[in-house]
Copies of this chain bind each other. A is one copy, B any other.
Amino acid sequence: MDANDITTDAAFLADFATMSEFGATGDGGVDRQAASAADIEQRRWFAGLLESHGFTVEYDRIANQFGLLELVPGAPYVIVGSHMDSQPTAGKYDGAYGVLAAAHSAFRLKEAWEQGAVTPAYNLAVVNWFNEEGSRFAPSMMGSSVYTGKMALETALAVTDHLGVTVEQALADTGFVGTGDGPQAVGCAEIHIEQGRLLENAKVTIGLVTATWAASKYRIVIKGEQAHSGATVMEDRHDALLGASLLVVAARRLADRFPGSLHTAVGQLDVYPNSPVVVASRVTLLLDLRSGDEAVLKEADEILASAIAEIEADAKVSVDMNLSHSWGINPYQPEGVDVSRSSAEALGLSHMDIMTVAGHDSTNMKDIVPTVMLFVPSVEGISHAEGEYTTDEDLVAGLAVIAEVTRRLVAGELAPATSDSTDKELS
């Protein structure tokens, strides 16, 4: 192939290097929280890339960015993509790889179509979902949640960051807020880095995602009483931060009881009044339990609940636990896994079935249309950190598979299961 050919692996890697410059941290990572300057700039660049390849760029009302290619006038769309926003000081592969791989898959498909090598059954849309990470504006997967009807548009637009800026305000004047609901979906595909070590340990290139781990996500408020952190005698203290700390430690000990089958975490914790000389009266934290085994998760939930009374007595505080989100083992359509398996096999690439621990936009999409999810290996499993890394060889192997899956979906190989496959209502 000609090195200048827009559909070569070299062209893909060059575009990936360019896209990684937006919000670059200087330490190999990126910082592109949703609707930040870097995110906005990168979206403008991406719109230009899509348009230069003959795609029509559109936005829905929650700023999901679509690059549309009409192949069958009036037909619904196969939607392929991921997200370009990131965590603070994050890696450059998370989300962004999947969006660019989708774009290059679409470029390849367009070229094949122009050469008469594809008979499309559907149209094709590349997508860059808005705010998948949820670090600036919680919750995560906001754009795909609104698209799939799981979250109300008004609720999403009213979410504030820690400075009180709403999503609506942050998006104003960006040109990213459309007036419609985006293209009508008939199928979906996403490729992402694994964010774990299973593929690397098994020396396998392509992960065929069969299901999402079960999860229980708690929002917990620990209430104590403000007191002078020096003068107040220890017995009189009702220390919300002590209660919170006991809970963080308890969550970790809980994971240690189920080695390999339970992940627990507290990533966000806020102290009030957070003054050097005041015993905290309130701590708010988010605690997650995740497992690939629903029985393990249930047992872990119960152990956690039973630990609360002890923590309340120890720190003389009250603990309010609110199960904010939870889900069981959540399978992708087996027919979609078959499409990705046969695509990997056709390309001679090693593959294995795998579950995803993290949520993805495809986790939302699979509830409304048949959806394919693919992984490529993460070196040392590093994720949400500047040291995140996937080899170029694996990146282009993944690109080949998602391009093949895209071709098959557009050709109608993965037929919707129901007659009204484009219904956006949730099952």
Q: Report the bound CA distance from A244 to B213 in whole Å.
A: 28
Interface residues of A in 214-265 (CB under 8 A from B): 215, 225-234, 236, 239, 241-242, 244-246, 248-249, 252, 255-256, 259-260, 263-265
Q: Which residues of B contact A234 (CB under 8 A)?
A: 252, 255-256, 259, 263-264
Q: Which residues of B contact A342 (CB under 8 A)?
A: none
Interface residues of A in 136-171 (CB under 8 A from B): 138-140
Number of chain copies forming the complex = 2
Contact partner, A242, options B215, B252, B259, Cβ 8 Å: B252
**Contact of A133 with B277 at beta-carbon distance under 8 Å, contacts A248-B241, A263-B233 already known:** yes
Q: Report the bound CA distance from A381 to B231 in whole Å.
A: 8
Q: Report the bound CA distance from A242 to B250 in whole Å.
A: 10
Q: Report the bound CA distance from A252 to B242 in whole Å.
A: 8
Q: Which residues of B contact A266 (CB under 8 A)?
A: 241
Chain B residue nearest in CB terms to A249? B245
Q: Report the bound CA distance from A260 to B236 in whole Å.
A: 11
Q: Which residues of B contact A196 (CB under 8 A)?
A: 231-233
Q: Report the bound CA distance from A164 to B276 in whole Å.
A: 18
Q: Which residues of B contact A245 (CB under 8 A)?
A: 244-246, 248-249
**Contact of A271 with B274 at beta-carbon distance under 8 Å, contacts A232-B195, A233-B260 already known:** no
Q: Report the bound CA distance from A113 to B268 in whole Å.
A: 61
Q: Which residues of B contact A241 (CB under 8 A)?
A: 248, 266-267, 269
Q: Are B88 and A275 in contact (CB under 8 A)?
A: yes
Q: Report the bound CA distance from A275 to B87 in whole Å.
A: 8
A278 at the interface (CB under 8 A from B): yes
Q: Are A215 and B230 in contact (CB under 8 A)?
A: yes
- How close is A281's CB to chain B, nearest CB, in angstroms? 7
Q: Which residues of B contact A195 (CB under 8 A)?
A: 228, 231-232
Q: Could you name 30 residue pairs across A and B whose Cβ atoms are closer than 8 Å?
A: A87-B226, A88-B272, A90-B226, A133-B275, A134-B275, A134-B276, A134-B277, A135-B276, A138-B276, A195-B232, A213-B230, A229-B384, A230-B263, A230-B359, A232-B383, A233-B381, A234-B252, A234-B259, A234-B264, A239-B265, A241-B266, A242-B249, A245-B246, A249-B249, A268-B275, A269-B274, A275-B384, A276-B288, A277-B358, A277-B384
> Chain A residues in contact with chain B, CB under 8 A?
87-90, 133-135, 138-140, 194-197, 213, 215, 225-234, 236, 239, 241-242, 244-246, 248-249, 252, 255-256, 259-260, 263-281, 286, 288, 290, 356-359, 380-387
